[in-house]
Amino acid sequence: MRAGTRVRRRRARLMVLVCSPALLSGCSLAGAMAPRGVGADVSNGLWWLMFWLSAAIFVGWGALFGYGLWRRQRPDADPGGEARLHRRFIVGGGIVLPLLVFGVLFFYDLEAINAQPDGDDVVVDVTGYQYWWQIAYSDPEFVTANELYIPTGTDVRLRLHAEDVIHSFWVPQLSGKRDMVPGQVNELTLHAREPGRYLGECAEFCGLQHTHMRFEVVAVPPEEYEQWLEHMSAPAAEPAGAAERAGYDAFMDASCASCHVIRGTPADGRQGPELTHFASRRWLGAGVAPNDRGHLGGWIVNSQGLKPGNHMPPVEINADDLSDMLTYLQSLE
């Protein structure tokens, strides 16, 4: 190897070594390691326990390795003593230590299972579709999509369904994952300790747009949750003004109404997400773009450009009708 190449490689290795802590310091504790719910507290505790156990094993291994090197320098060591030492290491490191570690993890796991919330003060049905989430409340009864509101300090029992293929429901800051399997109802209880917006994702590969199958859990104080329920269970606002009325007509005339529900209107398709209070949602296409006028226009005309493989076909519409339709959809607070 040429001397120049060797120096370059050495420099590159040094750079990696110097930069690693700097790069890692850019990571903040987020997701499952910044728990805001009882279920996630438990997983986080287990994670740290395993981390410190692994760290202790690593340090112990390093010490033994150093000790071994040191012993090798002493050829006059007593051979009988050497054999006894080997036996001790085999029994200690091969039997006692694993039993201890797995024993601690086993009992901690049992405790963790018992500590999971399992109440049903509020019950919500969540259904996974390729590639979005339907969310159905029962009291009062209404359906929405991609934003799951829950009251803080309350056990919220989720009944998880899947319409087409297997999905998996995961809100890292609130709880562990739970698979959603067609033809089966799995349950998971969320308990958010504090208000906030928590990112949720599909955690089971379910097709081309698995990566864009996100949702938000919005945890709000119970009084605010009651207000939200009341608002959401009401039918859509009537179109007000010429542009909104023209947009309403454009929506009903185009193919939109055969795939989406807008409560209080003839739109009653069940293929895509409910749009009754669509404008109150923050994201489009299950987290693929912000819900603003520009992205919404692009989404309607060609959602395949933003999220290839999703099940919404392009809508053929002229510019004036599109503008009115956007005005109408943005009025659906």
Candidates 76-84, 198-206, 222-230, 297-305 — which segment interacts with ligand CUA by CB under 6 A? 198-206
Question: Least distance in Å: CB of 188 to ligand CUA?
Answer: 15
User: Which residues are CB-contacts of 100 (< 8 A; sequence separation ≥ 6)?
Assistant: none
Question: Does 204 interact with ligand CUA (rule: CB under 6 A)?
Answer: yes
- The span from the first CA to the last CA of the chain, in angstroms, equals 68
Helical residues (DSSP H) of the chain, grouped into ranges: 3-25, 38-72, 79-91, 97-115, 222-233, 242-253, 293-306, 319-330
**Nearest-approach distance from CB 126 to ligand CUA, in angstroms:** 12
Among 156, 213, 236, 275, binds ligand CUA (CB under 6 A): 213
> What own/partner pairs with CB < 8 Å and gap ≥ 24 does 226-234 have?
228/149, 229/137, 229/140, 229/149, 230/140, 231/277, 232/137, 232/142, 232/144, 232/149, 232/276, 232/277, 233/137, 233/140, 233/141, 233/142
Counting contacts by CB under 6 A, is residue 39 touching ligand CUA? no
Tokens 């309607």 belong to which residue?
Answer: 300
- Would you count residue 206 as binding ligand CUA (CB under 6 A)? yes
Site string for ligand CUA, 141-180 (x = CB under 6 A): --------------------------x-------------
Shortest Å, Cβ 27 to ligand CUA: 25
Half-sphere CA count of 304, side-chain side, radius 13 A? 6
Segment near ligand CUA (CB under 6 A); pick from 151-159, 199-207, 259-267, 288-296? 199-207
In the chain, DSSP finds a helix count (H) and a strand count (E) of 8, 12
Residue 118 beta carbon to ligand CUA: minimum distance, rounded to whole angstroms: 25
For ligand CUA, give the closer residue by CB, 112 or 202: 202
> Binder to ligand CUA among 61, 205, 208, 235 (CB under 6 A)?
205
3-state SS, residue 196: strand
The answer to whether residue 128 forms part of the interface with ligand CUA (CB under 6 A) is yes
Nearer to ligand CUA, 276 or 303 (CB): 303
Chain residues in the site for ligand CUA (CB under 6 A)? 128, 131, 167, 202, 204-206, 210, 213
